[in-house]
Amino acid sequence: MKKLILLAVVIGIFLTGCGYTLQTRANLPFQEIDLGRIENKTAEPKIEDRMTRNLGDVLMEYGFALSPGARYRIEGEVRSFVLTVLSEVSLTAAQYQVTATVGMRLVDTQTGKIVPIENISSPYVTSFSASGRLENILAQKEIATNSALRDLSQRIVQQLVYDKRLFETQPAKTTPAEPPAQPAPAVK
C-alpha cells in the first residue's frame, strides 16, 4: 500500500510538470528571421563572421527560417573577446580560457521597435590546453573560440524562444519624432 501511494505521488509530480517545456516550431514566437549585421568591437580578427555563421546555424536548428525579407531581424556586436591564461608551466602558458560577450538587438522591421538583448556572456567555461607547436595552439584556440561562440548563439536563441518579455507591447525605441506643433494662441 505504501509503495502504491509513493508511486502515485511520483506520477503526480511527473504529470504536474518539472518546469521544462517541449518547444516545437509551432511554439516559436515567429517563424522567419533575418540575420542582420554583427559588428566586431574587439581586436580578434573575423570574429563577427564566425559569430554570424554560428548564430545562423543555431537559429535553423531551433526551427527558424533565415529570410532576408522577414519581419524580425537580429543584429548586434561582439563586445569583448578575452583569452585568459588559466595555468602556466615553467613560465609558459599551459591552459587558456576563452570568454566572449555580445550585445544583440531584435528589430521589428514593420513597427521599428528595437528590443535589446544585452550583454550575453559565454554561459560555460571554454578552455583549451596549450602544448606543442604554435600551429597546434592556434588550432586549439580556433576550436575553443567556435565552441564559445556556439554557446553564445544558443543562449541568444534561447532568449528569443523563451523570454516572453521580448514581445510585450512596449513603446518603440526608434529615432525620436519631432515635437508636436504648438497650438496657435487665440486671437481676440
The answer to whether 157 and 62 have CB atoms below 8 angstroms apart is: yes
Q: What is the CATH number of domain 23-165?
A: 3.30.160.150
pLDDT digits (tens, 9 = 90+) for 98-120: 889 999 999 988 888 888 887 78
| Alpha carbon distance 145, 38 (integer Å) | 16
The pLDDT assigned to 8 comes to: 76
Within its chain, how far is the Cα of 98 from the centroid?
A: 17
Tell me the average pLDDT of the chain: 80
**Other CB atoms within 10 Å distance of the CB of residue 4:** 8
DSSP H helix total and E strand total for the chain: 3, 6
Write down the domain spans for the chain: 23-165
Q: How far apart are the first and last CA of the chain?
A: 94
pLDDT digits (tens, 9 = 90+) for 158-185: 888 877 776 665 444 444 444 445 555 5
